[in-house]
């Protein structure tokens, strides 16, 4: 089945961008109500609610099978894993570790005059949950991207939550990846109910400090509603790629990158920005040709019909302006001056420079995280980092002489706000 992608230009561009904007964080009242009900039931009934939902949604009787994947089952999955894939997972893990170690912040202290010590103490979170999707496809790569930065940060306890089938079985590659990373706790519960269980805790599931990882609209809505009960990584929506390409780009490469994103989900967005009419036409032809050989062509066509498109602009500057407005999750720069253009990009989750840096490299191998801000949230969210599993405490130590030196100024400030007890906390020490 060949897939078609539309070309938009001139007056058609604002309408297409408005359509793309309408996709952002679309959560129906029905979804929100359903998720709120799930959250309430899990909070009130704990394990009992999880058993009910597992039977309802997955057909699994976890009251008999248990909510946790047995250790021997995890070990067997690792033993059965293809040796080549095991080596690939191990090397990918090393790449992810190396990247995240480079940005890890450290505690620091500064000794000032008069015996003043100021600083910041950095400590890891105690326990986190990593959600790994298991719907249309299972993503062991997302397990690595969620778990490895947490391990780099020094998190003591990591729980993986992922859906199971009617027999209680979890995707064996996910289990094998968990084994390779040394994660022993795999909760075979998915959906909003898994997020609620991790956020509140149940009789069997301990409460976590933070939940990370991608999921469907129910998972994303649950994370949003439970933010504050625990931390989350970001507000995630359907995946997206935007490519800026000039006349030097290879049409086959551009089309392949668009299709790699479109096959994720019918709601995924795959967009090309170019000022070259000839490239636009070539990419359109390549999309049709390449999809004839792909197994997920129906999903691709749904994605391209909904939120895919080729935007033909009047200049590269216009391409950059539209890109910064969209703030894409993935951005590919298939242009001659990619490093120069990089300086003009303000909003993007991950940026892939040059024709030989496809998004797939970032998804599986390079090291930077593939858990990225979507739906335009790259304007204010960042990719998942080791820093996201750390918290800081400010450290302040004043000597008696330092307090006496600065006390009157502090009192004046406190008095200006009418806070007498604050003033007293200073003056009582100065009197002594």
Model confidence over 43-62: pLDDT tens digits?
999 999 999 999 999 999 99
**Confidence (pTM):** 0.92
Contacts of 33 (CB under 8 A, 6+ apart): none
Contacts of 403 (CB under 8 A, 6+ apart): 426, 429, 430
- Full DSSP string of 290-336: HHTT-TTHHHHHHHHHHH-EEEE-S-HHHHHHHHHHH--SEEEEEST
Helix (H, G, I), strand (E, B) or coil at 391: strand
Single out the residue of 173, 370, 184, 161 nearest to residue 260, CA to CA. Answer: 370
Q: What crossing angle do the helices spanning 277-291 and 297-307 adopt, rounded to 10°?
A: 150
Residue 383, φ and ψ in degrees, nearest 5? -60, 160
pLDDT computed for residue 139 by the predictor? 85
The residue written with tokens 């964080």 in the block is 25
Residue 329 known to be catalytic? yes
pLDDT computed for residue 356 by the predictor? 95
- Tell me the average pLDDT across 64-93: 96
Single out the residue of 129, 290, 112, 138 nearest to residue 195, CA to CA. Answer: 129
Single out the residue of 35, 48, 61 nearest to residue 164, CA to CA. Answer: 61
Whether the per-residue pLDDT at 136 is higher than 60: the answer is no
pLDDT computed for residue 86 by the predictor? 96
For the chain, which domains are there? 7-25+237-366 (3.40.50.1980), 29-105+123-232 (3.40.50.1980), 398-431 (no CATH)
pLDDT computed for residue 430 by the predictor? 87
Pairing of strands 269-274, 309-312: parallel
Judge residue 218's burial from the number of C-beta atoms within 10 Å of its C-beta, 0-12 exposed, 13-18 middle, 19 or more buried: buried
Query: H helices of 119-202, where?
Result: 140-153, 172-181, 191-200
Report residue 135's pLDDT band, with 50, 70 and 90 as the boundaries. Answer: low
Whether the per-residue pLDDT at 22 is higher than 90: the answer is no
What value does the mean pLDDT of the chain take?
94
Task: Give whole-number Cα distances, 388 to 6, 137, 190, 327, in Å.
Answer: 39, 26, 23, 21
| The dihedral sign for the CA sequence 213, 217, 219, 221 | positive
Report residue 313's pLDDT band, with 50, 70 and 90 as the boundaries. Answer: very high
What does the block give as tokens for 424?
Answer: 């007293």
Whether the per-residue pLDDT at 98 is higher than 70: the answer is yes
pLDDT tens per residue, range 255-292? 999 999 999 888 889 999 999 999 999 999 999 999 99
Asked if residues 243 and 271 have their Cβ atoms less than 8 Å apart, the reply is: yes
pLDDT tens per residue, range 327-347? 999 999 999 999 999 999 999
Report residue 26's pLDDT band, with 50, 70 and 90 as the boundaries. Answer: low
Which residue in the list 240, 263, 286, 329 is annotated as catalytic?
329
Whether the per-residue pLDDT at 216 is higher than 60: the answer is yes
The CA distance from 206 to 127, in Å, is: 9
| The dihedral sign for the CA sequence 396, 399, 402, 406 | positive
Report residue 138's pLDDT band, with 50, 70 and 90 as the boundaries. Answer: confident
Which residue in the list 180, 263, 264, 330 is annotated as catalytic?
330
Report residue 111's pLDDT band, with 50, 70 and 90 as the boundaries. Answer: very high
pLDDT computed for residue 24 by the predictor? 67
pLDDT computed for residue 29 by the predictor? 86
Of 137-141, 158-162, 421-425, 427-431, which gets the smallest average pLDDT?
137-141
- Tell me the average pLDDT across 305-317: 95
- Tell me the average pLDDT across 293-308: 91
């Amino acid at each position: 089945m060949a897939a078609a992608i539309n070309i938009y230009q001139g007056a058609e561009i604002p309408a297409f961008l408005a359509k793309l904007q309408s996709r952002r964080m679309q959560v129906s009242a029905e979804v929100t109500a359903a998720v709120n009900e799930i959250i309430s039931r899990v909070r009130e009934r704990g394990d009992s609610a999880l058993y009910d939902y597992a039977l309802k949604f997955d057909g699994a009787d976890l009251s008999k099978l248990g909510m946790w994947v047995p250790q021997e089952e995890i070990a067997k999955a690792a033993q059965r894993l293809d040796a080549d894939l095991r080596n690939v997972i191990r090397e990918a893990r090393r790449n992810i570790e190396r990247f995240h170690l480079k940005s890890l912040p450290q505690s620091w202290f500064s000794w000032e005059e008069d015996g003043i010590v100021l600083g910041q103490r950095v400590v890891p979170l105690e326990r986190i949950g990593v959600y790994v999707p298991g719907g249309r496809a299972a993503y062991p790569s997302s397990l690595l991207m969620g778990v490895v930065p947490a391990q780099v940060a020094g998190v003591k306890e990591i729980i993986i939550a992922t859906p199971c089938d009617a027999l209680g079985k979890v995707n064996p590659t996910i289990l094998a990846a968990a084994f390779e990373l040394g994660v022993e706790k795999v909760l075979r519960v998915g959906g909003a109910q898994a997020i609620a269980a991790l956020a509140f805790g149940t009789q069997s599931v301990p409460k976590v400090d933070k939940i990370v990882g991608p999921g469907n609209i129910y998972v994303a809505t649950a994370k949003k509603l439970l933010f504050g009960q625990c931390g989350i990584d970001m507000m995630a929506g359907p995946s997206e790629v935007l490519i800026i390409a000039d006349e030097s780009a290879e049409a086959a490469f551009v089309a392949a990158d668009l299709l790699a994103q479109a096959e994720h989900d019918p709601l995924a967005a795959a967009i090309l920005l170019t000022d070259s009419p000839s490239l636009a036409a070539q990419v359109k032809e390549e999309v049709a040709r390449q999809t004839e050989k792909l197994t997920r062509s129906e999903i691709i066509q749904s994605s391209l019909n909904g939120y895919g498109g080729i935007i033909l602009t009047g200049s590269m500057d216009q391409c950059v302006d539209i890109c910064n407005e969209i703030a894409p999750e993935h951005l590919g720069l298939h242009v001659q001056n990619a490093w120069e253009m990089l300086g003009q990009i303000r909003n993007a989750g991950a940026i892939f420079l040059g024709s030989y840096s496809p998004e797939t490299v970032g998804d599986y191998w390079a090291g930077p995280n593939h858990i990225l801000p979507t739906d335009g949230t790259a304007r204010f969210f960042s990719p998942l980092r080791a820093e996201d599993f750390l918290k800081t405490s400010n450290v302040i130590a004043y000597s008696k002489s330092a307090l006496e030196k600065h006390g009157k100024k502090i009192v004046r400030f406190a008095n200006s706000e009418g806070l007498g007890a604050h003033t007293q906390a200073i003056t009582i020490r100065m009197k002594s």
